[in-house]
């Protein structure tokens, strides 16, 4: 037990540049669909919509894609429109 505790302490001493240490600043990524030069979310813009869909054609959660809450809602609506018109699949392979 004692030995193990010692090891842990050593590990944390690695310094600010250590790969294994969590940096104090949290890495934040901004929403790729917000901002000035953001692309328009439309069901006809298939190239954009396909980025936010998994291999099995499911809509990816925003915690993975970093899309903001409002844009995610708009995105999922447009994807569903594209599905109705058979531009995108409901289910993948």
Partner 1 sequence: MNYYEHTYITTPELSTQEIESVRKKITDILEKNESKIVKEEDWGIRTLAYPINKSTKGKYSNIYIEGNNKVIKEIEQFERYDDRVIKFLSIKIKKIPEENSELVKTA
Which residues sit at the interface with partner 1, rule CB under 8 A?
42, 44-47, 81, 83-91
Least distance from C-beta 84 to partner 1, angstroms?
5
Least distance from C-beta 44 to partner 1, angstroms?
4
Name the residue among 30, 22, 33, 38 with its Cα closest to residue 76: 33
Least distance from C-beta 57 to partner 1, angstroms?
8
Between 16 and 91, whose beta carbon lies closer to partner 1?
Answer: 91
Alpha helices in 1-93 (DSSP H): 2-12, 46-51, 62-65, 69-84
Between 6 and 77, whose beta carbon lies closer to partner 1?
Answer: 77
Name the residue among 26, 35, 76, 37 with its Cα closest to residue 53: 76
Whether residue 87 contacts residue 53, with contact meaning beta carbons closer than 8 Å, is answered with no
């Amino acid at each position: 037990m004692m030995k193990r505790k010692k090891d842990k302490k050593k590990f944390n001493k690695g310094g600010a540049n250590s790969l294994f240490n969590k940096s104090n600043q949290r890495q934040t990524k901004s929403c790729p669909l917000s901002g000035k030069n953001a692309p328009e979310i439309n069901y006809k813009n298939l190239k954009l919509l396909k980025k936010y869909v998994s291999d099995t054609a499911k809509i990816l959660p925003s915690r993975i894609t970093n899309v903001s809450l409002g844009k995610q809602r708009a995105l999922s609506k447009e994807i569903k429109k594209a599905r109705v018109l058979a531009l995108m699949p409901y289910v993948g392979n």
